[in-house]
Amino acid sequence: MIVASSAALTTRDRWLLGGGGVAVTLFILIVVGRAWDVHDALMVGTPIGREFANFWIGGVLAIQGKLALLIDLDGYNEVLFQAFHYNPRGLAFSYPPHILLFLVPFGALPHPLAVALWSAGNLWLIARAVRLLSDERGLPWLAVLSPAALMMVAMGHFGGALAFLAIFILTRAGVRPIAAGCCLALMSVKPQFAGSMGLFLLLVGHWRVLVWGAVATSGLVGLSVLAFGLAPWIGFFEWTLPFHAQLLTHFQVGAFRTAMSVYTAARMEGLGDGAAKLIWLGFALPVLATTILLFVRRGPGPRTVTLALLAVLTILPYFQHYDLAIVAPALTVALFAPSSEPRPFLAAAPASALWLAPPFALPAGQLALPIMPVVVAIVVAVALAGQFRQPRARRDAVLGEPTGSAFP
């Protein structure tokens, strides 16, 4: 049995990062993001939930039987304008059609109520994700108020759901492969993240999760075909995927200002596709290999789960600042929970840099400065190096299901 001997960061650090993170995030959203302007700035319809406008309209169009508009960029933005009077008209629906199964209930509600329920649900799942790793009091609130979680709410994404699903998979894959496979299937509504998670699971030996995940995903796809027909899937493969691939290959800067990968940082600095991919792979592959080695050696603890989630994001050529909400619950536990490890997960300076990276990506992106992807990459490398130098933990202390529980 391990007896906790120290906290990763002090109580003072907890208050500074917690309170300071909230203040900085709100300041940036109000002053830089102009959250109060829901017609001509970042937000669409309400002061929170920019991307949720896409999800809500998707649900509305599914109810109305007008799903052809999802691949009609001009028509789709006209629908958004009629609903929200949002002038920039630069939104596109980017998700596979089986996500509509989950969006229809929200599309049946008025938008303000729907975005409130969506945001509250994702914050609740972030709190529950913390409980998968730790029973320490106060940590769920710290994770819910983290800059990454607040940026998730501002951008209207579903990082809370992805965080819960991903952490459940990483901590329970060995003992509950069927449930973990179902979680992976639910994650397939964000296919690039589900794919990178699937690769990680395969490389650490949890292939049974992939089998069950494929079965469950097939079921979701089949349900979506029964509900909405084949046309949305045909449109997804013929228009949606090529459209977004073209955005990345030809690199339209406006679409990637708040992206956080090494690849997008290199492209924003003017490098070509080939050179940027070499730099990205030169960073991502060692990170992935080192993380797999640590995960296999030490098992699914808060620190290895945090590194696994960061690695799963890092091996993607493109992920956004709000995607760091997926890491927020595990990072909160790794930084702030009492630990028997002789060294903290991160010292105060790199911990602060990673904690505050999501909101600072917004002003840096508006200036087209790829600073925050580089900061995140450096902190990931520092964290990996520090954990690799830790004395090897007793396997009976780290293997098996964590003591935390998602439900009381």
Determine the pLDDT at residue 47: 93
Q: According to the model, what pLDDT value does residue 368 have? A: 86
Residue 238 tokens read as: 């013929």
Average pLDDT over residues 250-270: 87
How does residue 405 score in pLDDT terms, banded at 50, 70 and 90?
very low
Q: Which helix (H) or strand (E) holds 271?
A: none
Position 397 scores a pLDDT of 42
Classify the C-alpha dihedral 242-246-249-254 as positive or negative. Answer: negative
**Residue 358 clears pLDDT 90, i.e. is over it:** yes
Structure-token match 């592959």, residue found: 285
Question: Quick one: CA dihedral 34, 39, 44, 48, positive or negative?
Answer: positive
Distance CA 359, CA 28 (A): 7
Indicate the length of the chain as a whole number.
408
The chain-wide mean pLDDT, for the chain, equals 90
Output the six-digit token pair for 229: 């027909």
Q: Tell me the per-residue pLDDT of 103-133, one tens digit each, with 9 for 90 and over.
A: 999 999 999 999 999 999 999 999 999 999 9
Average pLDDT of the residues in 294-299: 93
Q: For a pLDDT cut of 90, what percent of the chain falls above it?
A: 74
* Mean pLDDT, residues 77-106: 93
**What confidence tens digit (pLDDT) does each residue in 228-248 have?**
999 999 999 999 999 888 887
Q: Is the pLDDT of residue 399 over 60?
A: no
Whether 102 contacts 228, CB under 8 Å = no
Average pLDDT over residues 311-315: 94
